[in-house]
Amino acid sequence: MALDTLNPGCPSGLGTPGGDEDAPINIGAFVRTDAKGDETLELMIEGASCAACIKKIEGGLLALPGVSDARLNLSTKRLRVAWRPGALAPEAVAATLVRLGYRAQPFDPEVAQQNIDQEGRFLLRCLAVAGFGAMNIMMFTTPIWFGDDMGADTRTLMHWFSALVAVPCGLYAAQPFLRSAWKALRAGRANMDVPISLAVVLTFTMSIAETAMGGAHTYFDGITMLLFFLLIGRYLDHRLRERARTAAREILALQAVTARRVGAGGEVEAIASREIAIGDRLLLAVGERAPCDGVIVEGTSDLDCAMLTGETLPAPARPGDAILAGSINVSRPITMRARARAEDSAVAELARLIEVGEQGRGRFVRLADRAAALYVPVVHSAAALTFIGWMVGPLILQAMGVDVAGPDARVALANAVAVLIITCPCALGLAVPAVQVVATGRLFKAGVLVRSGDALERLAQIDMVVFDKTGTLSLGKPKLVSGPDAATLLAAASLARVSRHPLSRALVEAAGPGAACTGAVEHPGEGVEAMLDGKPARLGKRRFAAPGEADAPDDAPELWFARDAQAPVRFTFADALRPDAAAAVAALKARGYDVEMLSGDRATAVESAAKAAGIDAWRAGVTPAQKTARMQALRGLGRKPLMVGDGLNDAAALAAAHASASPGHAVEASQAAADFVLQGDALMGLVEAIDVAKRAQRRASENLFFSAIYNVMAAPLAAAGLLTPLIAAIAMSGASLIVTWNALRMQGRRAWTSGSFLRLPPSSWVQSGLAPSCGVCAPANTRISTAPRTGS
């Protein structure tokens, strides 16, 4: 099913891959509603290959009324268009793409990958043919270069032999550029492949004409070398983007491709995962992956979620528990009910996060896009002026009495072609995307998903970090910190094993394996009651298990355990910090960043967590509105805060911050508002992300500067006739290789990993404070360091 560029009158704008009007499809069937309530459509685009294609497609779609977002990912060829409900007919999207000259079909990951693999193989074949032609032409051109005594007839014969190799090899190898240019011209537009194709055609034509006239100079070797180097750059770009595609595929590989559906009569049938409908009952055998997100309805087992959450131990799963796509059933067969389609699962969403991170473009990329958009008119004008100058210049000099040779159309054309070749903006087009793709892939390996390209730029600009406590600095899971002897702990745990309360789970975790007490009864909201060794026992709230005891002064989360006539005992819990929370905070301070913590929790809990993490500035009892107001106040003071939070109450603050991050377990609303998503329980990935963002900014600046200097210096040399088309091809391709190599330098050893430890003495940690805050943003339970800020 494809948009038919040959038959734009197709009613729906969509048809079969061959453009068959007799097989149109209903494009409205592929429209979905996203979390913001906008209508979205995802298509796979064919023929897009450069920054100008992105600008053309996105610009054309954003011009449609009601369209709020249009993003094309060159790596996966996925186009996502979003518009306000009812503001746009989906057929208008199809018609616009047809008008712009691009083919498309509803996005299917399997088909997309097949097309991408096919494109890579095709580029490799073209590269091999160009290399074969370039090497074999050397057999005929080398004698011409060094054969001073070669006669004119022999030289012409060598030129014809060169043509016999160069023409078929060159025309085959030039297909990626010729096809792209032809599609653009048919749509009434020009892309960066148009001048490249023009240079190829003119050089071939000029060389054949020169050979037919018995001329001394041809450029069969130069044009095949040009195509060889151009294809090296394009294939490297393809492979570079393959890194991000591989990351997305690795995530999607966590999702099963088949499932076993349980029918109404209990019969089991095997189906493809894409056929799963919401509400289907699915049987999951031991060792199988969950094909979609759902809820367990029958059976108990353990789930291995290591690839999703980083948790090394299998998690218990019972009826009513949620199960995510990609989780492996470890212990016993279970039955689950699908609550999302396979393409809408948590695994698919992670893959989309990677793609969004790769395709997002910030200030540097927008700058490169604008420069690339100016390329076609500027380079055509420069080539035309070069030709005119070499044709008219000698006449002017002769009129002035200067003794110079007359105009030579062949020399003028050769110099104009050299300008077309050497000014090809391949290096400029790769300057920022190459850095962005490498940085995104590196952070993915470090457990950080990047949601947008400009997020890397904004992260490099931050000057302070603000943390939420529960679920961000802490694990969001209570941990036993004090209690009586081991025997009492085991006894209390036997009652706790029948409860799913978080404190009961923490008590059981501290006690270790054991048997649950038989005959235990749970009183919702109160506790558990049972007979232990023939004597009554209770575990739960103070008023339930120990009503005669006084309230504890520390206000810590607690469970009381009492049995028979023995004195009740108290278990206290705390929300444990992430293992590397203190190291991450120290690393941020060592880099000169101010660190603050905002939490809606109790003052005692927040103070304890802040002290353990090494944070001097903290606020307790903060409401969601106050968190957002704090971000706005900081930005009003000229600060650029990074907000790190996980809860629904953090979503507004995340959106209001200069940059934002959320842990991988955060609620969907927080992840949607965040620029970065941290996988696993480690926070050091945040430090790695900041370091990578700063290096990415430097690499992008270096690439843009080099690309600009290269074009400024190379174009006048070509126009002056100092560079032949062969040398121009080598220089242009060398610039692309340098830009790519500079981006790949970011793949060096990571300074910080999720398993690293901070090896800095406390004396080297920077003690920093915060700018003054307004009364709206600073609740009563506030401690702010007054130490002077050291900068970032």
DSSP 369-410: HHHHHHHHHHHHHHHHHHHHHHHHHHHHHHHTT---PPP-HH
C-alpha span between 643 and 627 (Å, rounded): 10
Nearest to 69 by CA among 46, 87, 52: 87
Query: Alpha helices, DSSP H only, in 446-564?
Result: 453-461, 486-496, 502-511, 542-545
- Do residues 395 and 363 touch, judged by C-beta distance below 8 A? no
Beta strands in 442-593 (DSSP E): 448-450, 464-468, 474-482, 521-523, 527-532, 535-540, 558-563, 569-577
**What are the Cα distances from residue 56, in Å, to 73, 189, 336, 664?**
13, 9, 45, 35
Cα dihedral sign for 132, 137, 140, 141? Answer: negative
Residues 6+ apart with CB under 8 A from 775: none
If phi over 0 gives left and psi between -120 and 50 gives alpha, with beta otherwise, what is residue 125?
alpha
Catalytic: 293? Answer: no
Helix/strand/coil (H/E/C) assignment for every residue in 56-84: HHHHHHHCCCCEEEEEEECCCCEEEEEEC
Angle at 112 between CA 110 and CA 117, to 5 degrees: 95
C-alpha span between 135 and 283 (Å, rounded): 60
Q: What share of the chain is helix, strand, coil (3-state, %, to 5)?
A: 50, 15, 35
C-alpha span between 722 and 577 (Å, rounded): 66
For 551-583, give one letter per residue: b (16+ CB within 10 A) or e.
Answer: eeeeebbbbbbbbeeeeebbbbbbbbbbbbbbb
Could you tell me the two tokens for 233?
A: 């750059």
Angle at 765 between CA 762 and CA 770, to 5 degrees: 135
Q: Which of 221, 369, 468, 601 is catalytic?
A: 468
Active-site annotation, residues: 468
